[in-house]
Chains A and B, each alone.
Chain A
């Protein structure tokens, strides 16, 4: 392998930074677009100025079709659909991210720890298989309603649903890497088990974990929407996409389509963004 001769510092280093970022964006377009969309949703939800107050209904403007004043119309209570749909991003997206984050941490830890046992955990894997086939949405509903029906319980339910996939992934990856030579070498050089876990196993597994995390988040958004559709976990005053879809479904049979459309599209875009990120990561991993 030839060594690069030009180690001279580039005169316009700032421009070259932008260029490298741009090349990265172009090569990983899926990931970049997905991240951008998610960031925009969060930004809009928390910081963007909205045409109407999403939490103050206007009793005189009930079920109005889209107009220049109410861009996506109003719902049965007089809320401006457009503003409320954007504001709902304050709840749905952070909830999904929080749930995914905790499941990742717990799942990866359990996965890494259980990978050293090998044989006993075959049974655990089978049990996880069966667990994941159980109607998890219903389980989520049960968990949330029985444990207090508030936001933390929603996160708990998400953790319960999403952790198994992280356990499995981490464990299978860790097991296969364990077999490889450089782990043997690390042990031979006297590394402790913890050091091996942290320094050697984790970095190699992280790509697949991130992809799975994206998929988990996508699923979490749908679960949260389903829960709030049923009125679980969120209170009626909160703006959330699922609840908005619910109220939209009650009027759609009579032709008032706009109430359900905005939150539905919001969910669609968010989930699509997460899926795009996951696909992009998987593609990058395949090319290695």
Chain B
């Protein structure tokens, strides 16, 4: 069940050469190093990579959630041609109304000492002219749309009274309450029951497709990406090392790291289980390919000396590697 793509016109989201770093006393940690990708209207895109690859930092840098010691050090994030990084005030207006954010832990996102309706209504009334009564009605309808059977009860209660699944549905309802054109999810279903995960994703994706909205899904679960996303972006050490249509990338991976990921998760619902190995030093970022230490190929002399640039392997399928993927070993079975 993958959504159709709409590539007419300018992309909805265009991330150009994004850089972000964390200034710690041990040195500057380069978490995001020149990330480029786009998301078109109505597209469902997944970002995958193991923990520490910079995907969460990228998302947060994009929408201005990066807190000290993290700081955005370069690049542009164009949403409908407006640079999100340029103006804090513009960005604030766009958030929730046109860009929705669903974080991983719903009990972290929801305020534990505030009633659900108060939190929800506050978000709604910040971006609309609705009065309190209308906002509550809207909130209730959104909760229903997100698959909650008794919205009134949820609204009148507190976060700790909800189950994990219901809490996440509530957060999704809030994030999507104003029908944003882009929904960004940072591991939104990790930690929930597998069946609950699937239900929530099914419901959410169905809604997105119906309203022709785009989604950017950050996850380490390849199965989810394969099932829901039409395009996938693979990140490693703060860089995008491969991107393209999901079926292509998963059946004919060009980058050795993508291969490694696919080998490690042979079954659909298996989450990523990779030992860290030797991640490159993010403080003294290597000048050559960041995957060099763990790569089993290294079949090009430039692997050791130069940073590979993104090149087109097939139409729409890009990878930053010197490795010739002509002889592909393992693919992901749909």
Q: Is A283 an interface residue (CB 8 A)?
A: yes
Q: Is A69 an interface residue (CB 8 A)?
A: no
- Give the number of chain A interface residues (Cβ < 8 Å): 2
User: Using Cβ atoms and an 8 Å threshold, which residues of chain A touch B25?
Assistant: 283, 287
Main secondary structure of the interface of A (DSSP, over half): helix
Per-position contact with B for A40-73: 1 when CB-CB < 8 Å, else 0? 0000000000000000000000000000000000
Within 8 A of B (CB), among A73-94: none
Main secondary structure of the interface of B (DSSP, over half): loop
Within 8 A of A (CB), among B1-44: 24-26
Q: How far is the CA of A142 from the CA of B25 in the complex (A)?
A: 46
Per-position contact with B for A196-223: 1 when CB-CB < 8 Å, else 0? 0000000000000000000000000000
Q: How far is the CA of A283 from the CA of B25 in the complex (A)?
A: 9
Q: How far is the CA of A145 from the CA of B26 in the complex (A)?
A: 51
Q: How far is the CA of A283 from the CA of B24 in the complex (A)?
A: 12
Smallest distance from the beta carbon of A124 to chain B beta carbons, Å? 31
Q: How far is the CA of A283 from the CA of B26 in the complex (A)?
A: 12
Smallest distance from the beta carbon of A10 to chain B beta carbons, Å? 24
Smallest distance from the beta carbon of B293 to chain A beta carbons, Å? 11
Per-position contact with B for A250-283: 1 when CB-CB < 8 Å, else 0? 0000000000000000000000000000000001
Smallest distance from the beta carbon of B183 to chain A beta carbons, Å? 36
User: Using Cβ atoms and an 8 Å threshold, which residues of chain B touch A283?
Assistant: 25
Smallest distance from the beta carbon of B23 to chain A beta carbons, Å? 13
User: Using Cβ atoms and an 8 Å threshold, which residues of chain A touch B26?
Assistant: 287
Q: In the complex, which residue of chain A has the Cβ closest to the Cβ of B25? A: A287
Q: In the complex, which residue of chain A has the Cβ closest to the Cβ of B24? A: A287
Smallest distance from the beta carbon of A283 to chain B beta carbons, Å? 7
Within 8 A of A (CB), among B26-70: 26
Q: How far is the CA of A181 from the CA of B25 in the complex (A)?
A: 29
Q: How far is the CA of A107 from the CA of B176 in the complex (A)?
A: 55
Smallest distance from the beta carbon of B28 to chain A beta carbons, Å? 14
Q: How far is the CA of A181 from the CA of B175 in the complex (A)?
A: 41
Smallest distance from the beta carbon of A1 to chain B beta carbons, Å? 9
Within 8 A of A (CB), among B105-129: none
Within 8 A of B (CB), among A154-198: none
Q: How far is the CA of A121 from the CA of B25 in the complex (A)?
A: 38
Q: How far is the CA of A287 from the CA of B26 in the complex (A)?
A: 8
User: Using Cβ atoms and an 8 Å threshold, which residues of chain B touch A287?
Assistant: 24-26
Smallest distance from the beta carbon of A272 to chain B beta carbons, Å? 22
Smallest distance from the beta carbon of A23 to chain B beta carbons, Å? 14
User: Using Cβ atoms and an 8 Å threshold, which residues of chain A touch B24?
Assistant: 287
Q: How far is the CA of A268 from the CA of B25 in the complex (A)?
A: 28
Q: How far is the CA of A157 from the CA of B24 in the complex (A)?
A: 41
Chain A residues at the B interface, C-beta cutoff of 8 Å: 283, 287
In the A-B complex, the 4 residue pairs with the smallest Cβ-Cβ separation, listed nearest first, are A287-B25, A287-B26, A283-B25, A287-B24
| 4 A-B pairs (CB sep. < 8 Å) | A283-B25, A287-B24, A287-B25, A287-B26
